[in-house]
Amino acid sequence: MSALSSVSASGRRTRTGRRSGVGVTRPGLVWAVPATVFFLLFAILPLVLVAVLSFTSWDGVDAPTFNGLDNWTKLLHDPVMTQSIWLTLVLTVAGVVVQTPVSILLGVWSAGYQRNRAVLSAIFFVPLLLSATAISVVWRAILDPNFGVPSQMQWLFGDGNLMGSQSGAIAVLTFVGMWQWTPMHALLYQGGARAIPQVLYQAAAIDGAGKFRQFLHITLPQLRNTMITSMILMLVGGLTTFDTVLILTQGGPGTDTTNSAYYMYQQAFKSFDFGSGSAIALVLVVVATLISLAVVRFSGYDKMRSTSEGL
């Protein structure tokens, strides 16, 4: 029946020829107007304004006035700004380095067919359901040096003031970032691992390759495209880390964990220097875009090389 109807459909198509291709059923541009106008107004316009505002002085109340390059020269000579860029890079790189192996292991494992997998993965992905705010609030309570877990587990945490030093605070932010983001990346890798053709593993097994070599020579290379997607998300996410810094460390101790996104928020909404805040925001947008483009270019992702060549 279905074969018959498809035959008659294609038969009709040839009869009416070209007309049905360009015919009456194509929607006009008007269908795209509401979404486009809305998006231009509340996403693209702010993006343009961020560039404009970076050349103004604005306290958030009166009208912004142009002040040329003042914000930029100020930021250039601002040690906190320089430090914040380094911190942003450190936090971003630490995030990628810690999250990638954990996500790959977890994703590949959960792509398998173990009997306990379904139950365990239901628990594994719980962090996905929590808001960044909830995650940060919970970890802050847990890691509180006086009333949290460190006070009860001194054999592990020492004096327990984890967020009292710069290295400790960076470690906490990296750890909480991992807790928050690993499930999403693991799901990406799970999808990637499930798409690897089983025939590759069978061939490798015939050649006598063990589990570990199969993982190294089949799984990892086959996950290349997933890795690039996941890494771009991690890089952009890492560069713009804000909620966790605000709630866990407030950029402290001192300005020791004041990354660029948090510094931007502080400049604009705490010091009411919205011009400088915009300048920092513009740096963030440009850097995030450049890094994404660079990863795509250097990995050859833009050439869309298929991982299933020769199959």
Residues 49-108 that bind other proteins (CB under 8 A): 49-50, 53, 58, 60, 64, 102, 105-106, 108
235-254: which residues touch other proteins (CB under 8 A)? 236, 239-240, 242-243, 246-247
Cα(300)–Cα(184) distance, rounded to whole angstroms? 24
Task: Determine, following the binding rule CB under 8 A, whether residue 271 of this chain makes contact with other proteins.
Answer: no
Q: How far apart are CA 288 and CA 77, in angstroms?
A: 22
Residue nearer to other proteins on the CB measure, 169 or 281: 281
Of 73, 152, 165, 308, the residue at the interface with other proteins (CB under 8 A) is 152
Beta carbons of 124 and 185 less than 8 angstroms apart? no
Number of CB atoms found within 10 A of residue 17's CB = 8
284 scored as a contact of other proteins (CB under 8 A): yes
**What gap in Å lies between CA 229 and CA 240, rounded to an integer?**
17
Examine residue 4 and tell whether it contacts other proteins (CB under 8 A).
no
Instruction: Tell me which of 45, 97, 220, 294 binds other proteins, using CB under 8 A.
Output: 45
Sequence-ordered list of residues with C-beta below 8 angstroms from that of 85, at least 6 positions apart, any chain = 260, 283
Helix (H) or strand (E) holding 57: strand 56-57
Amino acid at residue number 194: R
Note whether 130 binds other proteins by CB under 8 A: yes
Task: Write down the least CB distance from residue 108 to other proteins, Å.
Answer: 6
| CB 256, min distance to other proteins, A | 20
Positions 184 through 223 that interact with other proteins (CB under 8 A)? 184, 187-188, 191, 202, 205, 211-212, 215
Minimum separation from the CB atom of position 308 to other proteins (A) = 18
| Residue 308 binding other proteins, by CB under 8 A | no
Residues of span 16-35 touching other proteins by CB under 8 A = 16, 20, 22-29, 31-32, 34-35
Helix (H/G/I), strand (E/B), else coil: 268: helix
Largest CA distance in the chain: 83
Asked whether position 123 contacts other proteins by CB under 8 A, the answer is yes
Is-contact 110 124, C-beta < 8 A?
yes
